[in-house]
Amino acid sequence: MSLTSHPTGTPADAKVTVRAVSRTFHRGGSTTVALEAANLHIGRGEFVSLVGPSGCGKSTLLRMIAGLLRPSSGEIDIHHDDTSRSLCSVVFQEYSIFPWRTVTANVRLGLDAAGIPRKVGNARAADWIERVGLTGFAKAYPATLSGGMKQRVALARALVMEPELLLMDEPFAALDAQLRKVLQDELVAIYETLGNSVLFVTHSIEEAILLSDRIVVMSARPGRFKAEFTVPFERPRDVAIRSSAEFGALEEEIWALLRDEVLAAAADESMAGAPA
Ligand SMILES: Nc1ncnc2c1ncn2[C@@H]1O[C@H](COP(=O)(O)OP(=O)(O)OP(=O)(O)O)[C@@H](O)[C@H]1O
Ligand SMILES: [Mg+2]
């Protein structure tokens, strides 16, 4: 494993390059610096996770990369290699699926928007519904599904586009521990067959190690990149690595760094809530 204190090196073949990106929010007369001078790259086919305390700007960065929010300063470059393919899909923490559409209709959403003929769209949706383990639920409505099943729908809807870049913001945070493990294992397998680039935001160091090639640790607000770790486990990954000593040692090393930031963020929050 390698640790660099200034993870700013950007390979020429990066899929995504974030250069000196800052984002400030102004609300009700107060100003929040959510992210300050962030530098990050994601290689082609690389799985990068972001971990950091609450409020350090992870979602803000992901939304800027997705093009949903503009940086206050700095630049973000994303290379669209194959314009016949979709560039980017996003999976959010909360199940962002439409209750009035069936599973198939939800999964087909991006395909419909791209003008893919219904028959082709249905076939591609059916394939992904099966791959995420929802066989038999194609015609079901979200209200009849469990939380884990809804998140599988969101995953299938993102993956059916076969995007070059997949952005995931704590996609498994709302799931119970067992379901989360199942979906993590499924995501490992899916990623290893698709080989697209992924940026994954999580509060779980274990999840980050299991899934990623590289983990970027962020500091408390204003978010900066504090360190990065290369995950040493080979692919295809056997989920049994979870119980290896090397896994535990890496988890502890990352936690030792993150702990101070989590404490700093908690102190910051209690100051904000304290009487003047
Ligand atoms: N639209 C907005 N208007 C005002 N402030 C915002 C807005 N979006 C985010 N912020 C603030 O910017 C900071 C970073 O928020 P962000 O959601 O990116 O954090 P995060 O790292 O994703 O946190 P969490 O781990 O809790 O999801 C926070 O202080 C947040 O309150
Ligand atoms: Mg967030």
Whole-angstrom Cα distance, residue 140 to residue 136? Answer: 8
Q: How close is the Cα of 203 to the center of ligand 2, in Å? A: 9
Task: Please give the average per-residue pLDDT across 140-153, as a whole number.
Answer: 92
Residues measured by CB to lie within 5 Å of ligand 2, the ion: 59
Whole-angstrom Cα distance, residue 124 to residue 135? Answer: 13
Kindly indicate the confidence band of residue 264, based on its pLDDT and cuts at 50, 70 and 90.
confident
Q: Report whether pLDDT(265) > 70.
A: yes
pLDDT at residue number 275: 58
- Whether domain 3-87+164-273 has CATH 2.40.50.140: the reply is no
Task: Please give the average per-residue pLDDT across 202-219, as a whole number.
Answer: 96
Pocket test of ligand 1: the residue of 56, 72, 268 to mutate, having most ligand atoms within 8 Å of its CB, is 56
Looking at ligand 1, which atom is closest to the CA of residue 52? Answer: 21
Residue 167 near residue 88, CB atoms below 8 Å: yes
Q: Report whether pLDDT(215) > 70.
A: yes
Kindly indicate the confidence band of residue 212, based on its pLDDT and cuts at 50, 70 and 90.
very high
Looking at ligand 1, which atom is closest to the CA of residue 218? Answer: 21
- CA neighbours closer than 13 Å in the CB half-sphere of residue 119: 0
Residue 200 near residue 62, CB atoms below 8 Å: no
Q: How close is the Cα of 69 to the center of ligand 2, in Å? A: 14
Q: Report whether pLDDT(5) > 60.
A: no
Looking at ligand 1, which atom is closest to the CA of residue 26? Answer: 4
pLDDT in tens, 163-176: 999 999 999 988 88
Q: Whose CA is nearest to atom 1 of ligand 1?
A: 25
Q: Where are the domains of the chain?
A: 3-87+164-273, 96-162
Q: Is the CB of 25 under 6 A from ligand 1?
A: yes
Determine what percent of the chain is predicted with pLDDT higher than 90. Answer: 71
Task: Please give the average per-residue pLDDT across 233-253, as a whole number.
Answer: 94
The bridge status of strand 30-43 relative to strand 14-27 is antiparallel
10 sits in which H/E element: none
Q: Report whether pLDDT(84) > 80.
A: yes
